[in-house]
Amino acid sequence: MGQDPLAGVTVFVAAARAGSFTLAADRLGLTKSAVGKTIAKMEEQLGFKLFHRTTRISRLTADGEAYLATCAAALDEIVATRDALASGARKLSGRLRIDMPVVFGRKVLLPILFDIVRTHPGLSLGLNFTDAKSDLLQDDVDLAIRFGALKDSSTLIARRLATQERVICASPDYLSAYGAPASLAAVHEHRCILGSTKGPPLAWFVRENGAEKRFLPPVTHQFGDGQAMIDAALAGLGLCQLPIFMVREALARGALLRVLPEVSDVTVEIHAVWPRGKQLNPRVRHVVDRLVAHAALGRLG
């Protein structure tokens, strides 16, 4: 078997799933002896037992159970990859459920998705516009778009699409009434518009003395929706920090003005996230590939 980490994996998974070396041998077209020798060589290389073996049955050890979970998932992904690549030139069909932030979804993603559906009319979209962080597995979501740092997860796969500049801003009316803060410390004397626990962030991300850090401004107004935060800022209700794509138009026409640009040059990452079990589902794969292509051209915001 040498040092090939994949040698024998198919035999091991077949034997574990069959619960019998004899049955696994029949399914693989091998002899029972060949299956047994392959498992023995794997155990020798790994340094631990995979099976408790008797004359009638083979039961996995605790180490074997753990190794099976990893090996089975790897083989399933290889099969999914093969099937996805084989179907790459086909027309997509079926339903694709996507969670996306409200403003980014409407302004940036919808035109891309509409174009995909025009090319693949058999594809059905199930879109959920929300700034809350849903549970992809519990809610049966195929794909989600997430802003900001991601939590470590063994059940999800993420692909970074792009980064966005963050902007602290306020309306001219607000700045006329309250003045512009000259420093982060001065922000504590101001009215601020923040997100919510499950929606847009409750903190700002800033750079001070060369280091990035989380900054907690006073919470005057709190919204679970990014568009509502923009509307509140435009209405003169306070300072807010948002990704540039959300406020670029308002900044260009002077409806919002930048504040403290010297400390707000901390970017936010945009990720596509999907459950590991849906790895390279043809529909998910196609949409992610299109988003990556648009990101490479600077078209994601």
Q: Give the span between the Cα atoms of 266 and 230, in whole angstroms.
A: 19
At residue 154 the predicted structure's pLDDT band, cuts being 50, 70 and 90, is confident
The residue from 49, 68, 86 where one domain ends is: 86
At residue 282 the predicted structure's pLDDT band, cuts being 50, 70 and 90, is confident
Within this chain, do residues 171 and 256 fall inside the same structural domain, yes or no? yes
pLDDT at 49: 93
Within this chain, do residues 181 and 36 fall inside the same structural domain, yes or no? no
φ, ψ of residue 257 to 5 degrees: the values are: -125, 145
pLDDT in tens, 223-242: 989 999 999 999 999 999 99
* CATH of residue 107: 3.40.190.10
* CATH of residue 44: 1.10.10.10
Within this chain, do residues 287 and 219 fall inside the same structural domain, yes or no? no
Q: Give the span between the Cα atoms of 175 and 234, in whole angstroms.
A: 11
Please state the pTM of the whole predicted model: 0.67
Within this chain, do residues 177 and 262 fall inside the same structural domain, yes or no? yes
CA angle 44, 47, 48 (to 5 degrees): 100
Is the predicted pLDDT of residue 126 greater than 90, yes or no? yes
Within this chain, do residues 23 and 68 fall inside the same structural domain, yes or no? yes
User: Which residue range is the domain that position 102 belongs to?
Assistant: 94-142+276-296
In a domain, 60, yes or no: yes
The residue from 52, 68, 86 where one domain ends is: 86
**Buried-exposed string 74-96: b where 16+ CB fall within 10 A, e elsewhere:** ebeeeebeeebeebeeeebeeeb
pLDDT in tens, 243-265: 999 999 999 999 999 999 999 88
pLDDT at 153: 73
**Dihedral of CA 21/23/28/30: which sign?**
positive
* CATH of residue 172: 3.40.190.290
In a domain, 151, yes or no: no
In a domain, 152, yes or no: no
pLDDT in tens, 176-220: 999 999 999 999 999 999 998 777 888 999 998 888 999 999 999
Number of domains the chain contains: 3
Helical packing angle, 62-86 and 9-18, nearest 10°? 110
In a domain, 157, yes or no: no
